[in-house]
Structure formats: C-alpha cells, structure tokens
Structure 1
Amino acid sequence: MKEILYYQDTMLREFTATVVRTGIEDDGRQYVVLSNTAFYPTGGGQPHDTGTINNTNVIDVEKVDDEIRHYIESDASALSGEVHGKLNWERRFDHMQQHAGQHILTAAFVELFDAQTVSFHLGSEQVTIDIAVDTLSSEQLAAAEARANDIILENRPIETKWITDQELDNYNLRKEVAVTGDIRLVIIPDFDYNGCGGTHPTSTGQVSAIKILSTEKMKGNVRVSFVCGQRVLAELAMRKTVLADVARQLSVPETEAATALAKLLATQKTTEKALVAAKEELLAFEAKTLASSDNNIISASFNDRSIQELQKLARFIVAERSDAIALLVSENEDKLQFVATRGAQVQTSMKDLAAKVLPFINGKGGGSDQMVQGGGERIISREQLLTAMQEALKCQTPKQF
C-alpha cells in the first residue's frame, strides 16, 4: 500500500502504468487492473476518483481483495501494455479539501469540547459528521468553526507517516485505529494525529475555508453538516442568489430582507385568520338561506367545494333546522363528493343512505348515523347523484324520518 501512487503523491494528476489484467464482473461491468495507480478507490468515507485511462472514461474504482479495479465505459480488453491515466482533478481535489476539512473540524470539537466524531460521510454536496453528544449550542458550533478556520489560516502542513501497530503508543491519536500491520497516519502538527487511508492536500491552507451549515439529532448524536473549500464559495453564491431574489421581490435591501419577510408573514397570518372568519360567516349565512326552505330535506349541489366545506355547511344547516336532513353534493374535477347530515330530531340513518348511493359512483365513504361523507367517479352528474340521495330517503319508512 505504501507504494501506491495516490499515497506516494496525493497531488499527482497524471501517470503511466502497465495493464496487469482486465476482467468483467458478474453484473457486466468491465474493469482493468494496473501495475500502479493514482486513482483512489472508494473507502474510509471518501468517494472514488474518476478520470480516463487512454481516453477511456473511468467511472468507478474499487479495491477488491489485494487489487484495485478501474471500471471503465468501453471494452476493457482493448487496453494492454503501457497506458496513460488522468484524474478528474476537480473531483479529486474537492474530495481532498472536504476530507482534510473533516479532520480539522473533528479535531476542533475534540480540542474544545472533548466531543468525538463517531461517523463521517462525504456527500456530493455536503459533508456530515456525527458528534457523540446530546446537544451542541450555537456558541459551541461557532467556536469549533472559528478554531477550524484558524488552523486553515495558519497553513499548517498536512503530513503522512507509515508506522506499525507497535509504534502507536508513540503518538497521541485522536481515536483508536481499527487496522493492524502498516498503519498510515495523517498528521497536522500540534493539532491532530489520526489513522486514515484517505487523500488530503499537503497543507491546511489548501482547504481554504470551512462553513457549518446545519445540525440535526441523529440516533442519540448530533449530525453536523458543513462544506469546505470551493463548496463554500458555491454555497455562498447560491445563498446570495436566493437572498437577492427575496430582497428584490420584497423591494428592500438585502440586509433588511429578513425583517421585511417577518412582517409579511405576520400580515399574511392576520389576513388568513380574517379570511377564515369571513368564510365561516359566509357559510353560516348560506346555511341560514338554505335552512329557510319549507322542506325537511334540504338539498344543494356545487362546483369545486371541498369535503371539509360541505361538512361545515351541513352542520350549520342542521344547527338551524334540527328537524331537517342536509344533502350536499360537489363536483370536483373528475370526481363527485357528497355529505349527508341529519338534525337532532331526525332518526333516519345516514349510513344506510350512503350505502345505497355509493354504488352509483363506484365510491367509498364513511361516517356515522348522524353524518356521512363519500366520494367516487363522475360517471353521473351531480344533479343525478343528488336525486339518487333523495330517492334513497323516500325508500325509508316514515317512522325512520
């Protein structure tokens, strides 16, 4: 492992090597094994490199047993002899920035709060570490971020060293290593000593910056999401664009956008409350008008009335007329919905009514003897459904109604 090119020189972008063998996985993926490689395989929380071998795209890299397999898009058997490998350097350097930034931020949490990292994930947009604590305050997050950025600004070297497990006691490691034999240490002098098989830049300054974005509870730990290096600039650009758009729509300077938005939301909540109250009054007025009928069966059909609105209207009607039944139907796009409610003086079962009319619309419904609601396909008109409901009532005995 010591002689692998990505460990010999993590800044190596291109290399030459000899094809050792080619092969095809059971799933059809074709791969090539080289005499040496600068392509990093997936492992230790760091994603694999991509790039080209003789202008053939390398789309995945995995370590299988004792060999590193480069999975390519074209026919692997076409590669032989000496080949030229070229990394997608933008991807590799991004991974190195994020991975080194994780070491720095993790060490800052340990140094300041003795808060250990128990897991790490390098995603395509953000990096996460799970910290073994119940909570992290905003002050603690700010302090860890500031300490991490101080280490970056100091541009300390990031060194690597191979040792044996017998030599581990000579180093103050941040956490125990899980491997034996040859062990690779990644060292930021006087700050962090850690066993790691990933790739990192040669100095902390190359990480550029660290910015914590958010936290969340995760299985008894606190998950911290952050970005490093070029991703900080990308995140800043995205947030600047969003903030500028919000400020433009609010017609205020960006610095006043939060205050203006809070005022707008407060106004909206007030307006929504007033609108709800106005709708309640309108429904009550509509119910009084419908309840003024001389009939004990009060029927009405509508367009685009929600089932909740029908239920409220029906309750208002029977509150006005305890001796009446309210039958309400609404046509909503490609479906029909209905509500049937009885007043306090009425004994007729609304569940029996629903059972008789639901087959007309291939529908489903539910409720009680006092009130039912249902809906189904618009295979008859709303007026025909209302008529079917009225006919179903007539079939019940006078004693029931």
Structure 2
Amino acid sequence: MMTRKLYYEDPYQLEFDSTVTKSDRDEHGPYVVLEATAFYPTGGGQPHDTGTLNSIKVIDVEEADGEVRHYIEEEFPQNGEDVHGSVDPKRRIDHMQQHSGQHIISAVFDDHYGIPTTSFHLGSDTVTIDLDTNQLSEELLQKAEEQVNNIIRRNIPVEARWMTADEANEYPLRKPLAVEGEVRLVIIPYVDYNGCGGTHPASTGEVMAVKFLGWTKSKKQVRLEFVCGSRVLEKLDQKHRILTDMKQLVPRPEEQLVEEVSEMIQAGKEKDKRITELEEQLLHYEARHIISETKGEPVIQRVFKDRPIKSLQSLGKTMIEEASDTYLILVSEQEEQLQFVLAHGASIDRNMNDIAKQAMPLIDGKGGGKPHFVQGGGKKLMDGTDFSNRVKELL
C-alpha cells in the first residue's frame, strides 16, 4: 500500500497520527514505513524533514522502492503500532522559504537575462544554484536581486497542482518535463511554472526576502550563493555581532572599518618585514660570535634547546658563508626528538649525505639534502651532545 503523502496535501501540517505498515532496517539503520506521513523525504534538491515519531527521533527520510522510509534512532517493536508524528517546524518552513526563493531567482535570471539554472543545492547554511553563464556583473546581480524581492513583496499566490503531463505542457514550462504520467506543477502566476516535488508556502510573501551572497566559477558555469527568509535575518544578526565586536577592537564608524583594518594590516606587514630584517642581522651576529669562539677549529658543534629546524637551517647557511673551511654540526634537542643540520664550507669537498646516512640510525631518523648541507631528525634516543660527538667521530 502506497503511503499517503500529507506533505503534498498540506505543507503546513506538522502534527499527524498514523500506523506503522513496515518496520525494518537496511545499511542506513532501522526505519519504519507509515500508512500516512507528513515527513518530506530527500528529493529534487530539497533535504528531508526531521522530527519525532512517538518521541523517537527521525534522523533521515528517504524514498526507496516506492516506500517513504523514516530512519529512526530506535527500532519500533512491531508493525501495526499507532504513532504520533511531529515534524520540526523550523526546518520545514526554512526549506519552504529557500526552495520557493530558488524558483523565483531562477525565473528572474532566465526570463530577464536569458541565463537558465542547471542545478540547485539547498545546504544547511546557504543555498546555491548553478547558472549557465561564465560570469555575473555586480550591476546585474543588484538588478536581479531587486527584481526577485519585488516579486516576493507582491505576495503572489503559490499553487502546487497535480495533473497529467499533457495538461502540464499547456503551461509555459521553464524546462521540459522529465516524467510521464501524472506530474506535480508548482505555479507562481506570470512568474514560474515548474514541475517540482518540493514543499512550498502559500504565497511569495512568506519567502520574506532574498540576499545574494556572491558567486564563484564552477567548471564553465557560475555558482550563485544566496539565502532566503529567516536565513537573511540570521546572516544579518551574525554580521551585526561581528561588526559590534570589531568596533570594540577598532573604535571607528562602520563605514571606516575597512579602511582602518587595511591600514592596520599594511602596518603589520611592514613590522613583519622589519622583524625579518632584524632576525637576519641577529643570525649574522650569532654566526660570527660562534665562529669567533671556536678559534679556527675544523669542526663547529652546537646543541640548542627547542630551536626550530628552520632557524637551525638559517643559522647553518649563515655560518658556512662566514667559515668556508669548517665542518658544522648543529643539533636541536627537543622533548621527544632530535633535529640536526650537517654542513661544510665551500673550501671542503665532501658529501655530507654519506655522513648523515651513517648518523641517522643512531636516532632512527630521516633526512637529506645537498652534498654540502644536510638536515634531518629522529627520535631522542640519546642527548644532543652525545649525538653531536658521534657525528664528529664519523667526520
């Protein structure tokens, strides 16, 4: 027996009583089929409803093999049980607003700009449609958004009507029907005539408003992101709270925030550049100091505590520029690992990779590099000084 689909009879009916006609499970979990249901199953770009059956959560609703399957957190004990269903009203109304808003947006782009919609996705945060064009100008977006909101404000009735395919083809359909036999036509008079299985409000005014959020290129088309209805207010509230917090940090009027933050970012970049220059100078001073302390020794060894490998590399490169006839062993000793740099100046002809390959088994390490400059690391199986001395012995 086919399930009676209450969501088509009255999309505003969110409470209902029914009877379980089947109780089973599949790869998605336990599910029940009901004699009648107000739960909308995923389909046509619109996600499923959620809610409860006898206080048991309905976490998914899918149509499969001619059945409307309600996936639930717990199994019902047997068929024939009477149930009370309750559909989450916020989610249902939200989906109705987003879906009808999409119909109006697609109609405006198609009718006024010759840009058809090729796909639709109703996400949990925003909605997207793919438009068959390679770009959208800011001027076009502003005009289209205004036209969409004008249609919403006109509060035009929205009607969903079942009819034969032949009857539906008498209307100015936006695209050819993909099914034969009986079809459900969603009608917004003089705006849109579309075969659609989704839930819709009684009038365009219930969509409230539409706000375009931007677009990106998707393959050879454009993906437009937007929100409708209560999501517009949620986005406004979100952005208002962000701006309020920003003004606590940057006490300037809203219209000057972008300029002020841009100046702060630029000042930060200049400071970062100056810090980098100073760090390079410090490295040169440190390299010269270490070299002067060694008084011409052929091998320079240094063990540091928790020094980052990048800093170790920078110090090593600076030192071999200053000491062309010297070997270099730099080790960073950390809590659970050792990292190292092995190098020599330009006057020495030797492949440090050969030394590293002999040294790395001491710490179960990995590494590599150029013949004159090798870096690597491994486990702290010995302290940094012992490792440095063992490498010196290999040299």
* Partner residue in 2 for 1:376: 378
Per-residue CA shift, 1:188-243, capped at 9, x if unaligned?
Answer: 11111111010000111101111122322222222122111111111111121122
Matches within 5 A, 1:170-209: 170-209=170-209
Per-residue CA shift, 1:256-296, capped at 9, x if unaligned?
Answer: 32222111100100000001111111111222222333212
* Partner residue in 2 for 1:87: 87
Per-residue CA shift, 1:294-351, capped at 9, x if unaligned?
Answer: 2122222222322222222222222122112222111234221111111111012211
Per-residue CA shift, 1:40-74, capped at 9, x if unaligned?
Answer: 11111111122233444333222223332333334
C-alpha distance in 1 between matches for 2:217 and 2:47: 25
Per-residue CA shift, 1:94-144, capped at 9, x if unaligned?
Answer: 111111111111112212321121111111111111112212222222222
State how many pairs are aligned.
392
Q: Which moved more, 1:96-105 or 1:6-15?
A: 6-15
Change in Cα spacing, 1:32 to 1:310, as seen in structure 2 (3 Å) is closer
1:300 pairs with one of 282, 302, 308: 302
* Partner residue in 2 for 1:348: 350
Query: Contact between 1:165 and 1:183, CA under 8 Å: does it hold in 2?
Result: yes
The amino acid that maps onto 1:12 is Q
3-state SS of 1:115 partner: coil
Query: Contact between 2:186 and 2:195, CA under 8 Å: does it hold in 1?
Result: yes
C-alpha distance in 1 between matches for 2:32 and 2:320: 79
Q: Which moved more, 1:287-296 or 1:232-241?
A: 287-296
The amino acid that maps onto 2:153 is L
The amino acid that maps onto 1:385 is F
* Partner residue in 2 for 1:398: none
Query: Contact between 1:174 and 1:194, CA under 8 Å: does it hold in 2?
Result: yes
C-alpha distance in 1 between matches for 2:82 and 2:353: 82
* Partner residue in 2 for 1:142: 142
Q: Does 1:357 align with 2:359?
A: yes
C-alpha distance in 1 between matches for 2:217 and 2:144: 18
Query: Contact between 2:23 and 2:78, CA under 8 Å: does it hold in 1?
Result: no
3-state SS of 2:240 partner: helix
Matches within 5 A, 1:23-42: 23-27=23-27, 29-42=29-42
Shift of 1:244: 1.5
Q: Does 1:4 align with 2:5?
A: yes
Query: Contact between 1:314 and 1:328, CA under 8 Å: does it hold in 2?
Result: yes
Q: Which moved more, 1:346-355 or 1:161-170?
A: 161-170
Query: Contact between 1:22 and 1:30, CA under 8 Å: does it hold in 2?
Result: no
* Partner residue in 2 for 1:396: none
Query: Contact between 2:304 and 2:333, CA under 8 Å: does it hold in 1?
Result: yes
C-alpha distance in 2 between matches for 1:254 and 1:180: 56
Q: Does 1:283 align with 2:283?
A: yes
Unmatched segments (≥5 aa) in structure 2? none
Unmatched segments (≥5 aa) in structure 1? 394-401
* Partner residue in 2 for 1:127: 127
1:317 pairs with one of 311, 316, 319: 319
Matches within 5 A, 1:196-275: 196-275=196-275
* Partner residue in 2 for 1:338: 340
3-state SS of 2:169 partner: helix
Shift of 1:32: 3.2
Change in Cα spacing, 1:31 to 1:330, as seen in structure 2 (3 Å) is closer
Change in Cα spacing, 1:71 to 1:317, as seen in structure 2 (3 Å) is closer
Query: Contact between 1:366 and 1:373, CA under 8 Å: does it hold in 2?
Result: yes
Change in Cα spacing, 1:314 to 1:190, as seen in structure 2 (3 Å) is same
The amino acid that maps onto 1:371 is F
C-alpha distance in 1 between matches for 2:285 and 2:20: 86
Query: Contact between 2:21 and 2:35, CA under 8 Å: does it hold in 1?
Result: no
C-alpha distance in 1 between matches for 2:206 and 2:67: 30
3-state SS of 2:44 partner: coil
* Partner residue in 2 for 1:397: none
3-state SS of 2:346 partner: coil
Query: Contact between 1:2 and 1:8, CA under 8 Å: does it hold in 2?
Result: no
Query: Contact between 2:174 and 2:193, CA under 8 Å: does it hold in 1?
Result: yes
Query: Contact between 2:109 and 2:144, CA under 8 Å: does it hold in 1?
Result: yes
Shift of 1:251: 3.0
3-state SS of 1:76 partner: coil
Q: Which moved more, 1:149-158 or 1:8-17?
A: 8-17
C-alpha distance in 1 between matches for 2:21 and 2:347: 89
Shift of 1:81: 6.2
3-state SS of 2:37 partner: coil
C-alpha distance in 2 between matches for 1:141 and 1:364: 55
Shift of 1:155: 1.1
Change in Cα spacing, 1:377 to 1:81, as seen in structure 2 (3 Å) is closer
3-state SS of 1:134 partner: coil
Change in Cα spacing, 1:2 to 1:199, as seen in structure 2 (3 Å) is farther
* Partner residue in 2 for 1:399: none
C-alpha distance in 1 between matches for 2:91 and 2:35: 23
Query: Contact between 2:3 and 2:37, CA under 8 Å: does it hold in 1?
Result: no
Q: CA RMSD in A?
A: 2.1
3-state SS of 1:172 partner: coil
Percent identical: 45
